[in-house]
């Protein structure tokens, strides 16, 4: 993709300035300092995979600032890189100015990309970041020497302290007023340059105008787009091939020469402009921390304890807030309900539909915010990258990589933030795989179902140890199923080359609390918008399907009296409600397809509850409350619901709930994709309904097949 | 200085090695070149993940984590 032909400037409304640099060079921090509009900042290489745009005023003129995803080179190996490089080099897209973000603590590798950029016709200046780190390590940068080597202005900045920002803006104004091409010569071997000269001569003779640096690019890089102009013309291409043969003979390879030349140049620049500390320190603080945290034994122990702690606190810290929200919801419903007593349909819509729907979204907010608080802190300190380093072996063998750990972990709280967090994956393929298996992780909305069934069926029979173990198994099963799914996706569906796993472990530091807070708030917002609207709409629809048509109350009353009961009181009300649901659209549908779920041990009530839970699984416990005649106002710990489930029978008198039908139901809930909001998030992240439909399809199929297997095999053994 | 051919899977903590050649044809190799792993580059193994892979190496004044399997296209010799 190297291209050094003149890139036509774009015709756009605002002049554009692009921030370009290696992953983790500090682009995002600088972007935020320049625009004031805060952006997520992470220690994680590749955290910015989208094109992020902000606006910036220079001397009264508005400019568009884009934060280009981190790059190692101008030769793309992934779609993300292709997009990023395209934004710089494609004709008509070139920004008016490029700020190359150069990490002073990692000069050589950062200069590699700079050397490529300097050979394009882009207008480049350098912002030197992490100078505070160099200083802390008692090194020093000779700015004048660096600037003269690079051939452009070099402005040191420390983004989070806002130092150097105004100097950088002044330099930007100067560079925009006087755009220049850099004349960088990294000093390729003489033989290459002579060949390039001969190619230029030959091309000129054929009437093709070519610069020496373009000829060199064509010679050393077969993907160099300059070559596209004459690749198809045999006479011209032969010239290139002949010269290539002269340079390389049969031993040395072209890309190797290119990389060696650039790194040799970078080493020289570093020698001249970096003054190393007189007494080099052997171990930094980060090394000492890592000696423990990546230790082969203590590292793993710490990791497991930390994860346990995080999850424990997600549940315990969130519990009081969730109770508060739940209490608020009930109080509000109780407050509103009497006002609408005159119109039962409206009352039910508002109380059971709208308030229930909104409540079921907001109740997850505490957990989501606490989860992202932890993720942001771990990311801010640099530990998250260690977690990926630790976990890569475990996740890598089946085709994912260590980075998938964060999205998968988040999915144990809720798949929506998990799917959103899959953006940390550096390439499209592993991102897509992560997105597709994230919903298999057992999210906290499944917990009430487990608690209900374990509390009703497992615990009374087998005691608390088996109850705890069942709960653990339910959380484990999604993870266990994810592995073969990834293997199949990897072998069968995503063909093509795999990307190498490469990452860096940033130095440990204290998180910047402002960034942590902003992450939490922005994630909460995304959750409320994506999940909120869909869960809300779905709850209302399901409400309607379970409410209409209204049956004949007199007939129900006659049935009740015929069973020898008195037609009043709470039990009578619950009976009426149950009969209404039984005759509702969804209830009838549940009865019709009962045979489909019978092999899994579900009767029409469980089937209807499952159907009702397809858009959003959180409705399942209230739905069961209604269907088992204990009213919607139940939760997973309600003794009344647990006992009426235990009392429920098949028409032939067999008890409905056995340990195996409970297990089968839990497996179904564990694996099925009963969450429209997750599907919407998948659609949002993959930009196609196709993948959302795929996730839905494969998960539902797995849930169905495995729950039948559990019930059928289990029941054989009693 | 004795030189001994070394496989990526045998790299141990603290070991120093030099790249003697690289197979450009393999998928991951162009990226390894760009990150500085070309013939002549010397590096030291800084960390090994608790489960044995990936490893962190120190080269050209920076540290990089790679998988052993993906370093397979490098021919290495051990330095001491
Ligand atoms: N000490 C120090 N840290 C920085 C500086 N610039 C960025 N960082 C930190 O380096 C990490 C990566 O920065 P980020 O802006 O996300 O890099 P990007 O990947 O290039 O966008 C973050 O933890 C930043 O807080 C700097 O000048 N000094």
CB contact under 8 A, B60 and A108: yes
Neighbouring C-beta atoms of residue A281, cutoff 10 Å:
10
CB contact under 8 A, A260 and B64: no
B25-67 pLDDT per residue, tens: 777 788 888 999 999 999 999 999 998 889 999 999 899 999 9
Query: Among partner residues A260, A270, A392, which is closest to B40 by beta-carbon distance?
Result: A260
Q: Which of A60, A63, A54 is nearest to A14 (CA)?
A: A63
A104-153 pLDDT per residue, tens: 999 999 999 999 998 888 899 999 999 988 888 888 999 999 999 999 99
- Please give the pLDDT value at position A46: 35
* Cis peptide bond prior to B16, omega within 30° of 0: no
Q: Residue A472: is it exposed, middle or buried by C-beta count within 10 angstroms (0-12/13-18/19+)?
A: exposed
Query: Among partner residues A73, A256, A393, which is closest to B22 by beta-carbon distance?
Result: A256
Query: Among partner residues A75, A109, A505, which is closest to B60 by beta-carbon distance?
Result: A109
User: Does an H or E element contain B76, and which?
Assistant: strand B74-79
- Please give the pLDDT value at position A675: 87
- Please give the pLDDT value at position A7: 47
Nearest-angstrom CA–CA distance, B46 and B33: 20
**Residue-wise burial string across A26-44, b where 16 or more C-beta atoms lie within 10 A, e elsewhere:** bbbbbbbbbbeebbbbbbb
CB contact under 8 A, A498 and B60: no
The distance of B54 to chain A (nearest Cα, Å) reads 7
Residue A357 φ/ψ, nearest 5 degrees: -65, -50
Domains of chain A: 16-177 (3.40.50.300), 190-275 (no CATH), 555-715 (no CATH)
| Chain B residues touching A260 at Cβ < 8 A | 38-40
The answer, for B14 touching chain A at a CB cutoff of 8 Å, is no
Residue in chain B lying closest to A267 (CA): B60
Among A18, A25, A41, A518, which residue has the most ligand 1 atoms within 8 Å of its CB, making it the best to mutate? A41
Nearest-angstrom CA–CA distance, A407 and A387: 12
Q: Which of A49, A136, A113 is nearest to A262 (CA)?
A: A113
E strands in A287-363: none
* A133 C-alpha to ligand 1 centroid (Å): 11
Q: Residue B21: is it exposed, middle or buried by C-beta count within 10 angstroms (0-12/13-18/19+)?
A: middle
- Give the pair of three-digit tokens for residue A555: 């007939």
CB contact under 8 A, B70 and A393: no
The three-state (H, E, C) secondary structure of A658-688, written as one string: CHHHHHHHHHHHHHCCCEHHHHHHHHHHHCC
Nearest-angstrom CA–CA distance, A29 and A41: 6
Nearest-angstrom CA–CA distance, A390 and A406: 12
Q: Which of B22, B18, B7 is nearest to B68 (CA)?
A: B7
The shares of helix, strand and coil residues in chain B, as percent rounded to the nearest 5, are 20, 40, 40
CB contact under 8 A, B48 and A393: no
Interior CA angle at A694 toward A690 and A699, to 5°? Answer: 155
Local mean pLDDT, 10-residue blocks, chain A (718 residues) = 44 83 89 72 38 82 87 81 78 86 94 91 93 88 93 92 91 91 79 83 81 80 71 78 73 76 93 84 82 90 88 80 88 89 85 78 81 86 91 85 85 84 77 92 87 89 88 89 89 69 87 85 79 76 84 85 82 82 88 93 92 84 79 75 88 91 95 89 83 95 96 88
Say whether A181 sits in a helix, a strand or coil: coil
User: Does an H or E element contain A241, and which?
Assistant: helix A234-248
Interior CA angle at A197 toward A193 and A198, to 5°? Answer: 120
- Please give the pLDDT value at position A262: 92
Say whether A628 sits in a helix, a strand or coil: coil
Ligand 1 atom closest to residue A47's alpha carbon, by position in its atom list: 19
Which residue of A502, A504, A507, A508 is the best one to mutate when testing the B interface, meaning the one whose CB has the most B CBs within 10 A?
A502
The answer to whether A676 and A471 have CB atoms below 8 angstroms apart is: no
Strand partners, A67: A19, A52
A2-50 pLDDT per residue, tens: 334 444 455 567 888 999 999 889 888 899 889 875 554 333 233 334 5
Say whether B52 sits in a helix, a strand or coil: coil
The answer, for B51 touching chain A at a CB cutoff of 8 Å, is yes
Nearest-angstrom CA–CA distance, A208 and A210: 6
- Please give the pLDDT value at position A49: 45
Q: Which of A228, A2, A199, A223 is nearest to A112 (CA)?
A: A2
Domain boundaries, chain B: 5-79
- Give the pair of three-digit tokens for residue A654: 């067999």
Q: Return all residues near A569 (Cβ < 8 A) that are at least 6 apart.
A: none
- Give the pair of three-digit tokens for residue A614: 């397809």
The distance of B21 to chain A (nearest Cα, Å) reads 9
- Please give the pLDDT value at position A548: 84
Nearest-angstrom CA–CA distance, A609 and A630: 14
| Chain B residues touching A45 at Cβ < 8 A | none
The region, left, alpha or beta by phi > 0 then psi within -120 to 50, assigned to residue A179 is beta
Say whether A197 sits in a helix, a strand or coil: helix
- Please give the pLDDT value at position A708: 96
- Please give the pLDDT value at position B2: 59
CB contact under 8 A, A393 and B52: yes
- Pick B5-79's CATH classification: 1.20.120.550, 2.70.150.10, 3.30.160.250, 2.30.30.90: 2.30.30.90
Residue A21 φ/ψ, nearest 5 degrees: 175, 175
C-beta of A69 in contact with ligand 1 (< 6 A)? no
The answer to whether A560 and A579 have CB atoms below 8 angstroms apart is: no
- Please give the pLDDT value at position A51: 63
Query: Among partner residues A73, A253, A500, which is closest to B28 by beta-carbon distance?
Result: A500
Residue in chain A lying closest to B65 (CA): A503
The distance of A698 to chain B (nearest Cα, Å) reads 31
C-beta of A519 in contact with ligand 1 (< 6 A)? no
Q: Residue A13: is it exposed, middle or buried by C-beta count within 10 angstroms (0-12/13-18/19+)?
A: exposed
A422-440 pLDDT per residue, tens: 877 777 788 889 999 999 9
The answer to whether A147 and A125 have CB atoms below 8 angstroms apart is: no
CB contact under 8 A, A267 and B22: no
DSSP symbols for A370-398: HHHHHHHHHHHHTHHHHHHHHHHHHHHTT
Say whether A44 sits in a helix, a strand or coil: coil
CA atoms within 13 A on the CB side of A472: 7
Interior CA angle at A547 toward A546 and A548, to 5°? Answer: 105
Nearest-angstrom CA–CA distance, B75 and A249: 21
C-beta of A46 in contact with ligand 1 (< 6 A)? no
Neighbouring C-beta atoms of residue A652, cutoff 10 Å:
5
Whole-number CA gyration radius for chain A: 32
E strands in A529-627: none
Neighbouring C-beta atoms of residue A425, cutoff 10 Å:
24
- Please give the pLDDT value at position A367: 78
* Residue minimizing CA distance to atom 7 of ligand 1: A26
């Amino acid at each position: 993709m190297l291209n050094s032909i003149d890139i036509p400037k774009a015709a756009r409304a605002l002049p554009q300035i692009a921030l370009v640099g290696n992953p983790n060079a500090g682009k995002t921090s600088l972007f935020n300092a320049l625009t004031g509009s805060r952006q997520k900042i992470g220690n994680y290489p590749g955290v910015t995979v989208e094109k992020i745009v902000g606006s910036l005023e220079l001397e009264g003129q508005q400019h568009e600032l884009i934060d280009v995803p981190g790059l190692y080179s101008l030769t793309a190996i992934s779609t993300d890189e292709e997009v990023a490089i395209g934004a710089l080099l494609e004709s008509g897209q070139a920004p008016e100015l490029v700020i190359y973000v150069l990490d002073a603590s990692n000069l050589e590798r950062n200069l590699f990309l700079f050397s490529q950029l300097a050979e394009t016709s882009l207008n480049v200046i350098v912002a030197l970041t992490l100078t505070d780190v160099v200083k802390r390590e008692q090194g020093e940068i000779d700015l004048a020497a660096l600037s003269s080597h690079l051939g452009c202005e070099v402005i040191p900045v420390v983004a989070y302290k806002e130092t150097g920002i105004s100097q950088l803006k002044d330099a930007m104004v100067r560079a925009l007023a006087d755009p220049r091409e850099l004349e960088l010569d990294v000093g390729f071997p003489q033989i290459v340059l002579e060949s390039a000269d001969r190619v230029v001569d030959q091309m000129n003779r054929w009437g093709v105008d070519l610069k020496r640096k373009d000829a060199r690019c064509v010679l050393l890089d077969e993907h160099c787009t300059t070559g596209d102009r004459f690749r198809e013309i045999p006479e011209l291409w032969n010239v290139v091939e002949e010269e290539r043969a002269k340079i390389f003979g049969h031993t040395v390879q072209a890309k190797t020469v290119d990389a060696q030349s650039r790194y040799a140049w970078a080493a020289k620049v570093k020698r001249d402009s970096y003054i190393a500390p007189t007494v080099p320190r052997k171990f930094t603080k980060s090394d000492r921390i890592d000696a423990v945290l990546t230790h082969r034994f203590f590292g793993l122990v710490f990791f497991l304890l930390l994860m346990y702690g995080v999850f424990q606190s997600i549940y315990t810290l969130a519990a009081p807030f969730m109770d508060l929200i739940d209490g608020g919801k009930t109080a509000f419903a109780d407050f509103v309900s009497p006002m609408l007593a005159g119109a039962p349909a409206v009352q039910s819509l508002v109380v059971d539909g709208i308030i229930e729907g909104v409540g079921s979204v907001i109740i997850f907010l505490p957990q989501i915010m606490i989860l992202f608080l932890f993720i942001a802190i771990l990311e801010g300190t640099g530990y998250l990258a260690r977690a990926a380093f630790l976990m890569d072996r475990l996740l890598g063998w089946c085709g994912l990589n260590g980075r998938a750990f964060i999205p998968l972990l988040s999915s144990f709280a809720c798949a929506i933030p998990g799917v959103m967090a899959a953006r940390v994956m550096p390439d499209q393929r592993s991102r897509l795989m992560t997105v597709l298996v994230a919903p298999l992780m057992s999210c906290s909305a499944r917990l009430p179902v487990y608690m209900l069934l374990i509390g009703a069926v497992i615990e009374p029979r087998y005691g608390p140890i088996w109850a705890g173990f069942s709960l653990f198994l339910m959380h484990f099963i999604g993870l266990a199923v994810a592995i073969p799914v990834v293997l199949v996706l990897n072998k069968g569906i995503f063909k093509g080359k795999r990307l190498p796993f490469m990452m860096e472990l940033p130095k440990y530091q204290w998180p910047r609390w402002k960034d942590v807070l902003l992450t939490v708030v922005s994630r909460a917002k995304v959750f409320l918008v994506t999940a909120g609207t869909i869960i809300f709409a779905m709850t209302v629809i399901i409400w309607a399907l379970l409410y209409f048509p209204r049956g004949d109350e007199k007939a129900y009353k006659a049935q009740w009296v015929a069973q020898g009961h008195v037609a009043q009181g709470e039990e009578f009300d619950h009976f009426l409600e149950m009969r209404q649901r039984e005759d509702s659209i969804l209830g009838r549908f549940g009865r019709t397809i009962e045979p489909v779920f019978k092999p899994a041990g579900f009767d029409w009530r469980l089937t209807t509850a499952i159907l009702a839970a397809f858009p959003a699984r959180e409705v399942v416990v209230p739905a069961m409350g209604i269907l088992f005649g204990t009213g919607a106002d139940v939760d997973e710990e309600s003794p009344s619901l647990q006992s009426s489930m235990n009392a429920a029978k098949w028409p032939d008198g067999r008890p409905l709930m056995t340990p195996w039908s409970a297990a089968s139901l839990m497996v179904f809930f564990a694996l099925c994709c009963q969450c429209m909001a997750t599907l919407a998030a998948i659609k949002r992240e993959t930009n196609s309904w196709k993948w959302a439909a795929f996730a839905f399809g494969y998960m539902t199929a797995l849930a169905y097949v495995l729950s039948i297997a559990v019930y059928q095999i289990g029941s054989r053994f009693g | 200085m004795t030189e001994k051919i070394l496989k990526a899977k045998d790299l141990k903590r603290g070991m120093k090695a030099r790249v003697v050649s690289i197979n450009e044809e393999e998928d991951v190799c162009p990226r390894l070149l760009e990150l500085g792993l070309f013939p002549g580059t010397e590096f030291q193994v800084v960390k090994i993940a608790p489960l044995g892979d990936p490893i962190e190496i120190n080269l050209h004044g920076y540290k990089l984590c790679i998988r052993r399997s993906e370093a397979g296209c490098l021919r290495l010799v051990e330095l001491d």
